Amino acid sequence: MAVRTILTAPDPRLKAISQTVETVDNNLRRLADDMFESMYAADGIGLAAIQIGVAKRVLVMDLNPKKGEKEPRLFINPKIVWTSDDVAVSEEGCLSVPDIWEDVERPAQIRAEYLDRDGRLQTLDAEGLLATCLQHEMDHLEGILFLDHLSKLKRSIALRKLAKAKRLKETG
């Protein structure tokens, strides 16, 4: 396993549309393990493969990484098959948009289908943080960042903040 570099906006690779996984094999499981390690190393709760530059429909998540017991979740080729009419607003952040947190509105409940680590089809009903995180990560598969859900003004302020933070880091 290896910790991989996480791409940050506005890296154009983050806009790529990820490809469907054809076979869940050991290579794919190795990719997932690298994703988990990279996510834990960065103190994140979710990561899409494209964030480490791999355009495959693979997501990892752990909503409980700091409370001792790990709860790793892997989603391969996830698909939302139902969304509620109710919406929920939650504050979101992203490892590819460091240090920026903004409110995003999304369906409050969803039902998703995906393949697990053994390539078996699973169904999941989600609400709360799980629903938010899954929708956020699935957006990455379409090249969408949570910033794209904000008003133009809020997005450009966030991107400027991000560029400034990057410059400061580079100049030390």
What are 120's two structure tokens? 């078996």
What is the nearest approach in angstroms of Ni ion to the Cβ of residue 102? 12
What is the nearest approach in angstroms of Ni ion to the Cβ of residue 26? 26
Q: For residues 127 and 131, what is the distance between their CA atoms, to the nearest angstrom?
A: 5
Contact partners, residue 105, CB within 8 Å, separation at least 6 = 87, 88, 89, 149
Stretch that binds Ni ion, among 76-84, 90-98, 102-110, 159-167 (CB under 5 A): 90-98
Q: Other CB atoms closer than 10 Å to residue 30's CB: what's the count? A: 12
What is the nearest approach in angstroms of Ni ion to the Cβ of residue 32? 17
What is the nearest approach in angstroms of Ni ion to the Cβ of residue 96? 5
Stretch that binds Ni ion, among 89-97, 104-112, 147-155, 160-168 (CB under 5 A): 89-97
- CA within 13 Å, CB half, 103: 4
Nearer to Ni ion, 94 or 134 (CB): 94
**Pick the catalytic residue: 22, 105, 113, 137?**
137
- Total residues contacting Ni ion by CB under 5 A comes to 1
What are 24's two structure tokens? 């869940």
Nearer to Ni ion, 61 or 94 (CB): 94
- The residue whose two tokens read 């990892």 is 60
137 is catalytic: yes
- Residue of 6, 60, 74, 94 that binds Ni ion (CB under 5 A): 94
Go through 34-56 and write b for each residue having 16 or more CB atoms within 10 A of its CB, e for each that does not: bbbbbbbeeebbbbbbbbbebeb
Nearer to Ni ion, 31 or 94 (CB): 94
Polymer length in residues for the chain: 172
**Interacting residue ranges for Ni ion, rule: CB under 5 A:** 94
Active-site residue numbers? Answer: 137
